């Protein structure tokens, strides 16, 4: 019996399969393996952001220049993007996003709970189609669905990866 791939490897394969060549992110422990895979792969241009909303502007410019983009962020960063998200649907710019969730299963930090609980509703209100992966074996299929829907219909999508997949953080990590 072989070792099972970590979900980040499967998502990285999908990024490559769908010719996504621009990946932006704010560093996040839950996304660290996926970020490192993207950084190590020369055909993918990676951009470390100071704020998640910059990733939306970057994706819009990339799309106008013929590049497919993906934005990686934590649920707390969704709140930084609300105004910018409106431009994606208005301008018909596809953008798959991967959002690691905080403020749900096993959360230790009370400051993460409000945005974590509101993330999906905020995204939906801004016209973003959401997918949820609550178990490790759901991530790849949800990521593929999210990526395909974004680029086939020219709209933003978000895969929300729950803390049950990532593991609940503690003060020590």
**Per-residue pLDDT at 165 exceeds 70:** yes
Determine the pLDDT at residue 104.
Answer: 81
Scanning the structure block, which residue is given the tokens 């969704």? Answer: 78
**In terms of Cα–Cα distance, which of 160, 169, 164, 166 is closest to 72?**
160
How far separated are the first and last CA of the chain, in Å rounded? 31
Q: Mean per-residue pLDDT for 148-163? A: 95
Q: What CA–CA distance (Å, rounded) separates 114 from 165?
A: 20
Write down the residue that tokens 């960063």 correspond to.
Answer: 77
Residue-range domains of the chain with CATH: 7-165 (3.40.50.970)
- pLDDT at position 169 is 63
What is the pTM for the complete model shown? Answer: 0.92
Vertex 81, ends 19 and 22: CA angle to 5°?
20
Distance CA 113, CA 127 (A): 22
Query: Mind listing the pLDDT tens digit for each residue in 21-47?
Result: 999 999 988 899 999 999 999 999 999
């Amino acid at each position: 019996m072989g070792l099972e791939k970590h979900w980040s490897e499967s998502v990285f394969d999908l990024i490559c399969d769908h010719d996504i060549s621009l990946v932006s992110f704010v560093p996040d422990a839950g996304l660290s393996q996926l970020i490192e895979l993207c950084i190590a792969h020369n055909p993918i241009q990676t951009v470390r952001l100071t704020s998640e909303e910059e990733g939306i502007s970057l994706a819009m410019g990339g799309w106008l220049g013929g590049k497919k983009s993906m934005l990686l962020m934590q649920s707390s960063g969704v709140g930084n993007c609300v105004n910018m998200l409106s431009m994606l649907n208005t301008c018909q710019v596809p953008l798959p996003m991967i959002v690691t969730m905080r403020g749900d299963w096993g959360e230790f930090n009370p400051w993460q709970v409000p945005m974590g609980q509101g993330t999906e509703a905020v995204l939906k209100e801004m016209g973003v189609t959401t997918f949820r992966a609550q178990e490790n074996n759901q991530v790849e299929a949800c990521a593929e669905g999210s990526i395909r829907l974004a680029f086939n219909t020219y709209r933003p999508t978000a895969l929300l990866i729950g803390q049950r997949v990532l593991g609940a953080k503690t003060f020590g990590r």
